[in-house]
Chain A
Amino acid sequence: NAGVMQNPRHLVRRRGQEARLRCSPMKGHSHVYWYRQLPEEGLKFMVYLQKENIIDESGMPKERFSAEFPKEGPSILRIQQVVRGDSAAYFCASSPNTGREQYFGPGTRLTVT
């Protein structure tokens, strides 16, 4: 059973470009979570999605960031007009149900130049 998959693993963008990060949850998991890890810090929750629904986006910056989890295909975290402060590792996690432990992907390391 494949684990949570994220791609790309590394992404370099210039300031002002768009970044698209993809997450494929584990088979049978319909809940997806995105977290951001700034250098030398812990992970901060960004958004929680179920298929076609955003359940909790309390950790998402109000501008430039959006997330989706369509009926078919991976979950996408989209960052428009990236700035240097967006440089971080972005981790996706999935779970089969609410209240269950989360399984993490390897992360996407975004560098904004």
Chain B
Amino acid sequence: RKEVEQDPGPFNVPEGATVAFNCTYSNSASQSFFWYRQDCRKEPKLLMSVYSSGNEDGRFTAQLNRASQYISLLIRDSKLSDSATYLCVVNGKGGNNRKLIWGLGTSLAVNP
């Protein structure tokens, strides 16, 4: 089992749609979880951290399910500019380990 697994997609959705991505992780000791966004041939940019209680930032909602070891990202009212690859990121083994484990990403294309 990969340490962090994501459905690669691509997800093709019309503008205004709601789309959800899931990500599973294998290390039950992981404490920190993130979603990054990466545009084609660009660097990743932090989209949001994922907290145990769930968190929302505008049209984006992130959830964490520790029991099932997955995190999710929900995008409401999709915009053309949301087209990108979304990377799920989890910290590595051990509470003080600074190594992040990166998923391969889920590709999203929002169509007019």
Partners in one complex: no
Interface residues of A (CB under 8 A from B): none
